[in-house]
Amino acid sequence: MDLLEQIKSNASKLNKRIVLPEGVEPRTLQAASIILKNKIARVILLGTKDEIDAKVKELGVDVSAAEVVDPKTDSRRDKYAGMMVEIRKKKGLTKEEALTLLNDPLYFGPMMIKAGDADGELAGAINATGDVLRPAFQYVKTLPGVSVVSGAFLMFVDKKFGHDGVLVFADCAVMPDPDAPQLAEIAITSAATAKSIVGLEPRVAMLSFSTKGSAKHPFVDKVVEATKIAKEKAPDLMIDGELQLDAAIIKEVGEMKAPGSHVAGKANVLVFPGLEAGNIGYKLVQRLAGAEAIGPVLQGMAAPINDLSRGCSVTDIVNMVAVTANQAQ
């Protein structure tokens, strides 16, 4: 069974409740019908019943097994608003402001998770990344010991690379310009994602335009420092840097440029020095090399909330719901 099938099959066994705040969006509804038919997860659609029913009829899909929740009238609004005020009391959030925020499905979804009424969320088919992430950062927050949420992609490439053709790329979605401690955290959480979702033994390459001192620049220093911090925080992790991309993934180049490294030439987790490199890098591999890219899988959040690219397909949504359900276990 390939990895994707394995992720979906595992999701089916978990039977998690995934909330889809963009409940009236056509690709989301088409994906929901596939998810329900194949029992990949339980689905909660946010929106009014009338709007959802009308769209379902137009599309000719069946989402009758989904739970439909209207954020503007749901009986839990008052309870959720109270929770929001408590969480944001230092920021001075009032109950009235919380109730207004709850009209927005992108706030209602995370509050369902916070209250234990859902296990995970997926949105972003029609909303920008920042709008999906901000409510999650503010109300669901990060895992204990983690301060930075980042976004990884599972990249399916030629079998001669990574772990049987699978690599984890990060951060490709969230932190525009991480400093060295943040980059170290991204490396450690990416290794955890690789282990828990792909089931691989992580070999983490801290990427740069320099390999082991071949170039001198503050950008290189940041990656060297991040590698040092990550090694101190996770001494058992196979991590090395700074490495150029070819030294990280090509055996001969790795042996020549970083002899004796446990990572060079056989990396399966690639940590980019900043979001520009990470976001452009995954799209290059996806578009020019024809790699399947699944993600961004958000890592470091206290509960699984994932973002979609607005160019996503129905299949992307189905796959990401399966990933989200796996993260919720």
* Closest listed residue to residue 31, CA positions, set 9, 59, 10: 59
Per CB under 6 A, 155 contacts ligand ACO? no
Q: How far is Cα 299 from Cα 296, in angstroms, rounded to an integer? A: 9
**Least distance in angstroms from the C-beta of 134 to ligand ACO:** 5
- Strands 150-156 vs 120-123: parallel, antiparallel or unpaired: unpaired
Pairing of strands 166-170, 150-156: antiparallel
176 is a contact residue toward ligand ACO (CB under 6 A): yes
For the bound state, the minimum distance from the C-beta of residue 262 to ligand ACO, rounded and expressed in Å, comes to 29
Contact string (CB under 6 A) for ligand ACO, positions 283-302, x = contact:
-------------x------
Q: Which is nearer to ligand ACO, 238 or 272 (CB)?
A: 272
* Helix ranges (DSSP H) in 194-250: 218-233, 245-249
Q: Which positions from 178 through 197 interact with ligand ACO, judged by CB under 6 A? A: none
Residues in 233-292 that interact with ligand ACO by CB under 6 A: 279
Least distance between ligand ACO and beta carbon 285 (Å): 13
The rounded distance, in Å, linking the Cα atoms of 133 and 118 is 17
**Span interacting with ligand ACO, options 19-27, 28-36, 142-150, 258-266, rule CB under 6 A:** 142-150
Is 76 in contact with 117 (CB distance < 8 Å)?
Answer: yes
Which residue reads 């799209």 in tokens? 283
> Do residues 185 and 171 make contact, with C-beta atoms less than 8 angstroms apart?
no
Tokens of 210: 């320099």
Tell me the HSE value of 24 on the side-chain side, using a 13 A CA sphere.
Answer: 13
Which CB sits closer to ligand ACO, 173 or 247? 173
Which one of 12, 142, 286, 313 is in contact with ligand ACO (CB under 6 A)? 142
Q: Applying CB under 6 A, does 309 fall inside the site for ligand ACO?
A: yes
- Out of 31, 45, 148, 226, which residue is the one contacting ligand ACO (CB under 6 A)? 148
Distance of CA 120 to the CA centre of its chain: 11
User: Which residue from 181, 237, 242 is spatially nearest to 208, judged by alpha carbons?
Assistant: 242
299's tokens: 């890592």
Q: What is the DSSP letter of 137?
A: I
317 forms part of the interface with ligand ACO (CB under 6 A): no
Q: Choose which of 20, 40, 154, 174 interacts with ligand ACO (CB under 6 A).
A: 174
Contact 46, 19 (CB under 8 A): yes
**Residue 92 within binding range of ligand ACO, rule CB under 6 A:** no
**Backbone φ and ψ of 182, nearest 5°:** -65, -40
Interacting stretch for ligand ACO, rule CB under 6 A, among 33-41, 170-178, 202-210, 262-270? 170-178
The site map against ligand ACO for 111-140 (x = CB under 6 A) is ------------------xx--xx--xx--
According to the 3-state scheme, what is the secondary structure of 265-276? Answer: CCCCEEECCCHH
Q: Which is nearer to ligand ACO, 175 or 267 (CB)?
A: 175
By beta-carbon proximity to ligand ACO, the closer residue of 93 and 224 is 93
Q: Which is nearer to ligand ACO, 30 or 182 (CB)?
A: 182
CA gap 6, 105 in Å, rounded:
30
Sites of contact with ligand ACO (CB under 6 A): 129-130, 133-134, 137-138, 142, 148-149, 173-176, 279, 296, 309
